Structure 1
Amino acid sequence: MLKFLRYLSVCLPAVILFACKSGEKLYNQGRYYDAVESFVKKLQRRPQDETSLRLLPLAYQAAMEHYEGRAKQSLASNNPLKWEEVKNEYRAMQSLYNVIRSAPAANAVVKPKDYSSAIAASGENAAEVRYNRGIELMEQRTKQAAREAYEEFAAALRLSPDFRDAASLRDQAFQLGLVHVVVSEIDVRSPYFQFSADQFRDALVRNLEDRRINTFVRFYDERRVRGEKDFHPDQYMEMRFMDFIVGQTYVDRSQREVSRVIQVKGNKADSTGKFPMVDITVKATIFVTRKTVQSTGALDYRIIDVTNERILRQDRVPGSFTWQNQFGTFRGDERALSDEDKRLIQGRDLVPPPPQDLFLELTRPIYDRMARDLQSFYSRY
Structure 2
Amino acid sequence: MHKYYTLLWIFSGLIVSCNSVKRTEKSLLSGDYDKAIEMAVKQLQSGKQAKNHKSFVALLGDAYQKAVEADLTQINYLESLQNEEFVDRIYQTYLGLRDRQQKIKPLLPLQGAKFVLNDYTEQIVAYRDKVSVYHYAIAKDMMKRGQKADFRAAYDELVHVDQVNPNYKDIRSKIEEAKYLGTDFVIMSLHNKSRQFIPNGLPDQLMNFNPNNLNKKWTVFDMDDNPKTNYDFAIDIDLEHLEVAPEQYYIERTIIEKQIVDGWTYLKDKRGEFIKDSLGNKIKTDNYLTVRCEFTEHHQYKAAHIGANLYLTQLNNKRTLREEPLEAEIIFENHYATIRGDRRALESNHLNLMNAGPLPFPTNEQMIYDAGEQLKSKIVYSVKRLF
TM-score range, shorter chain: 0.7 to 0.9
Q: In structure 1, how many angstroms separate the alpha carbons of the residues matched to 2:165 and 2:249? A: 74
Moved over 4 A (4+): 1-7, 76-80, 105-108, 257-265, 267-283
The residue type equivalent to 1:28 in the other structure is L
- Give the equivalent residue in structure 1 for 2:131: 126
Q: In structure 2, how many angstroms separate the alpha carbons of the residues matched to 1:214 and 1:361? A: 28
Pairing 1:1-381 to 2, within 5 Å after superposition:
8-44=9-45, 45=47, 46=49, 49-76=53-80, 80-104=84-108, 106=110, 109-187=114-192, 188-202=194-208, 205-206=209-210, 209-222=211-224, 225=225, 229-258=227-256, 265-266=263-264, 282-378=291-387
- 1:170–1:50 Cα change, 3 Å: same
Q: In structure 1, how many angstroms separate the alpha carbons of the residues matched to 2:354 and 2:59? A: 88
CA offsets, 1:157-197, max 9 Å, x none?
01212212101111122222333222223325333334223
Task: Report the alpha carbon displacement of residue 154 of structure 1 after superposing the two structures with TM.
Answer: 1.0
Unaligned runs of 5+ in 1: none
* 1:139 alignment partner, SS class: helix
Q: In structure 2, how many angstroms separate the alpha carbons of the residues matched to 1:304 and 1:130? A: 35
CA offsets, 1:2-38, max 9 Å, x none?
6876654332232222111211122222222211222
- 1:211–1:192 Cα change, 3 Å: closer
Q: Percent sequence identity over matched residues?
A: 18
Query: CA contact under 8 A between 1:81 and 1:126: conserved in structure 2?
Result: no
Unaligned runs of 5+ in 2: 268-275
Q: In structure 2, how many angstroms separate the alpha carbons of the residues matched to 1:79 and 1:331? A: 96
* 1:375 alignment partner, SS class: helix
Query: CA contact under 8 A between 1:256 and 1:285: conserved in structure 2?
Result: yes
- 1:74–1:272 Cα change, 3 Å: farther
Query: CA contact under 8 A between 2:237 and 2:310: conserved in structure 1?
Result: yes
The residue type equivalent to 1:70 in the other structure is Q
CA offsets, 1:60-88, max 9 Å, x none?
22222323333344445586542222222
Task: Report the alpha carbon displacement of residue 252 of structure 1 after superposing the two structures with TM.
Answer: 3.6
Q: In structure 2, how many angstroms separate the alpha carbons of the residues matched to 1:30 and 1:149? A: 37
Q: In structure 2, how many angstroms separate the alpha carbons of the residues matched to 1:328 and 1:256? A: 11
Q: In structure 2, how many angstroms separate the alpha carbons of the residues matched to 1:88 and 1:277? A: 95
State the aligned residue count.
370
The residue type equivalent to 1:329 in the other structure is T
The residue type equivalent to 1:104 in the other structure is L
Q: CA RMSD in A?
A: 3.2
The residue type equivalent to 1:233 in the other structure is Y
**Which stretch has the larger CA shift, 243-252 or 110-119?**
110-119
Query: CA contact under 8 A between 2:196 and 2:241: conserved in structure 1?
Result: no
* 2:231 alignment partner, SS class: coil
- 1:284–1:366 Cα change, 3 Å: same
The residue type equivalent to 1:69 in the other structure is T
Calculate the TM-score normalised by the size of structure 2.
Answer: 0.82
Query: CA contact under 8 A between 1:186 and 1:201: conserved in structure 2?
Result: no
Task: Report the alpha carbon displacement of residue 257 of structure 1 after superposing the two structures with TM.
Answer: 4.7
Query: CA contact under 8 A between 1:327 and 1:348: conserved in structure 2?
Result: yes
Task: Report the alpha carbon displacement of residue 156 of structure 1 after superposing the two structures with TM.
Answer: 0.7
Query: CA contact under 8 A between 2:214 and 2:221: conserved in structure 1?
Result: no
- 1:258–1:31 Cα change, 3 Å: farther
Task: Report the alpha carbon displacement of residue 323 of structure 1 after superposing the two structures with TM.
Answer: 1.7
* 2:377 alignment partner, SS class: helix
Q: In structure 1, how many angstroms separate the alpha carbons of the residues matched to 2:89 and 2:291? A: 87
Query: CA contact under 8 A between 1:286 and 1:328: conserved in structure 2?
Result: yes
Q: In structure 2, how many angstroms separate the alpha carbons of the residues matched to 1:78 and 1:354? A: 78
Calculate the TM-score normalised by the size of structure 1.
Answer: 0.83
Query: CA contact under 8 A between 1:27 and 1:35: conserved in structure 2?
Result: yes
